[in-house]
Amino acid sequence: MEVRKKDGRLVPFDRTRIYNAILKAMSETIAGIDEKVAEEVAESVEKQLDEFNIISTDSIHEIVEDLLMESARKDAAKQYIIYRQNRKKAIKSDFKLLDNDFISSYKHRPSVFKPLGEFVYYRTYSRFLNDEGRREYWWETVRRAIEYNCSLAPTRKEEAQKLFDNMFNLKQFVSGRTTWVGGTQVAKMHPMSNFNCAFETIEDHNSFVELLYLLMLGTGVGIRIIKEDVNQIPAARTNYTLVHEQYHGIPKNKRSDFTSLEFVGDNAFITIGDSKNGWSDGLKYYLSLIFEPHYSKITTIIFNYNNVRPMGEKLKTFGGTASGHDALKDIFDKIDRVIKKHLPNERAKLKPIDCLDICNIIGEGVVVGGVRRTAQIALFDSDDEECVEAKSNLYRQVEGQWIVNQDIIHRTMSNNSIFYKSKPTREKLHWQIEKMRYSGEPAFINSEAASKRRPNFQGVNP
């Protein structure tokens, strides 16, 4: 007996494909997989088809649905029907190297993962398909990632198919970042999301803006805050008041993605847009108002968050759920406290420890934002005692219990390392190893050796 595919081709009937499809439907139910029932239904389908020489795939699907509905597993019948409907919606695709003919043999295979692996896969890499109301199956994730990866350079169809088979069977992988966002709107709208790690020197207030944007994309960032970098940042003024308007969420269809800055007298109004660029621009405007001299007459900075989607709302493009406006509000409030700890001076010259705090505060806000764990590594001078001891007082003992110091808890966001420009003394090296032995930090970077390998060496990423 032969089966007529949707494109008119004839292929031999294969009962195992029906069996695997039923197992796949069962795996989506609370009751789970019942191999005996799946085998019985597959055998019944084959018996009903004995009288046919040629039969269409749609006819086979209808028989499977009827038999499942007659069995004790009506829940599996429901999932089987839903899957069929969803596949009809997705039948037209833009995939060029891995067409439906090639993919068809992989669609209904049992999971290649053990329970823990399956959990990690669905938690981290499986994209939510809004049109179908579900997450990707493993073969769909692999197809998306391989098509994207192979689109970056000329690739033969046979090579792409081999790569697909290897990745599907856990023998070979593209990067985790490609598995996560490759081929999605995220990769198109935010190209930096394709990069796992980045690095920047903190040498002006725009460095903090870039840091926020990169972290919101899930990119780990190395930050260098040695004194010669930080000294380039102009002094910030402290003679201003920060105000947050009460939040009144705006309906989806009326929200703006863009952040605006308006002036009324001595007041500056920043209306935050509901996007990654909107949040980054909000921080840019705020820092510009306190660092750039031509805004020195502004006495009050007022934030409006009404365009920001409420906590828990789904992020359709990036995935996950929104953190709400409080995460960004906390970033502004905490940076404000770092700046104003320099009072009563009207202008505050930031030190490396201040820059470390600001970077960590931004990282803390992004963690709250639910993208993924913030990854930072901070590099500082060997004689910068404040940065060396940045984590020394994170916890204190009160009545036999260790209590976290909420004022500096944000400092847990980075791993810290000393940036050695020359070989340390034997005593310094002994101290360094002892510190790493007991607390793991600070570690160290051999800048002298790195500069020999790469003349324009600046630092490292996480």
Summarised one tens digit per residue, pLDDT across range 421-431 is 999 999 999 99
Q: Mark whether 330 and 216 lie in a shared domain.
A: yes
Q: For the stretch 411-425, what's the b/e string if a residue is b when 16 or more beta carbons lie within 10 angstroms of its beta carbon?
A: bebbbbbbbbeeeee
221 pLDDT band (50/70/90 cuts)?
Answer: very high
Question: Does residue 417 have a pLDDT over 90?
Answer: yes
Whether 65 shows a pLDDT value over 70: the answer reads yes
Choosing from 346, 372, 398, the residue where a domain stops is: 372
Residues 268 and 162 in one domain: no
Contact (CB, 8 A) for 291 and 298: no
pLDDT tier at 3, thresholds 50, 70, 90: confident
pLDDT of res. 218: 86
Note the pLDDT of residue 410. 94
What are 109-139's pLDDT values in tens digits? 888 999 999 999 998 899 988 777 888 999 9
Q: Tell me what pLDDT residue 137 has.
A: 93
Quote the number of domains for the chain.
Answer: 4
Residue 263 lies in a domain: yes
One domain, residues 240 and 322 = yes
Q: Residue 93: pLDDT band by 50, 70, 90 thresholds?
A: low
First and final CA of the chain: distance in angstroms?
A: 58
Contact by Cβ (8 Å): 340, 240: no
Does some domain include residue 436? Answer: yes
Q: Domain range spanning residue 211?
A: 204-372
Cα–Cα distance measured from residue 458 to residue 68, given in angstroms and rounded to the nearest whole number: 63
DSSP string of 383-424?
A: T-HHHHTTTTTSEEEETTEEEE-TTTGGGGGEEEEEEESSPP
Listed residue (391, 423, 422) closest to 409, CA to CA: 391
The answer on pLDDT for 457 being more than 90 is yes
Residue 141 lies in a domain: yes
> Quick check: is 136 in a domain?
yes
Residue 104 in contact with residue 140, Cβ under 8 Å? no
Of 86 and 100, the structure prediction assigns the larger pLDDT to 100
pLDDT at residue 4 in the model: 79
Residues 174 and 251 in one domain: no
Which residues have a Cβ under 8 Å from the Cβ of 379 and sit 6 or more positions away?
A: 222, 223, 224, 225, 226, 417, 418, 419, 445, 459, 460
Residue 234 lies in a domain: yes
Same domain, 219 and 304: yes
Percent of the chain with pLDDT over 70: 94
pLDDT confidence of residue 89: 55
Statement to judge: residues 355 and 258 lie in one domain: yes
* Most confidently modeled range among 21-35, 93-107, 135-149: 135-149
Residues 277, 347: one domain?
Answer: yes
13 φψ region: left (φ > 0), alpha (ψ -120 to 50), beta (else): beta
| Better-predicted residue by pLDDT, 444 or 130 | 444
Q: Is the pLDDT at 275 greater than 80, yes or no?
A: yes
Give domain status of residue 191, yes or no.
no
> Mean pLDDT over residues 367-392, rounded?
84
Pick the residue with more confidence: 92 or 174?
174
Q: What residues contact 140, with CB distance under 8 A and at least 6 apart?
A: none
Question: Same structural domain for residues 72 and 128?
Answer: no
> Do 352 and 224 have their domain in common?
yes
pLDDT value of residue 364 = 93
Same domain membership, residue 425 and residue 309: no
Is 195 inside a domain boundary? no
Q: What is the pLDDT of residues 310-366, one digit of tens each?
A: 888 877 667 667 788 999 999 999 999 999 987 666 788 999 999 999 999 999 998
Residue 192 counted as domain residue: no
Q: Tell me, yes or no, whether 285 and 394 share the same domain.
A: no
Query: Does 20 or 137 have the greater pLDDT score?
Result: 137
Average pLDDT, the chain: 89
**End of a domain among 58, 75, 92?**
92
Residue 369 has pLDDT above 60, yes or no: no
Among 29-43, 285-299, 372-386, the range of highest mean pLDDT = 285-299
Reported pTM:
0.76
Residues 241 and 309 in one domain: yes
Look at residues 131, 152, 183 and tell me which one is the last residue of a structural domain.
Answer: 183
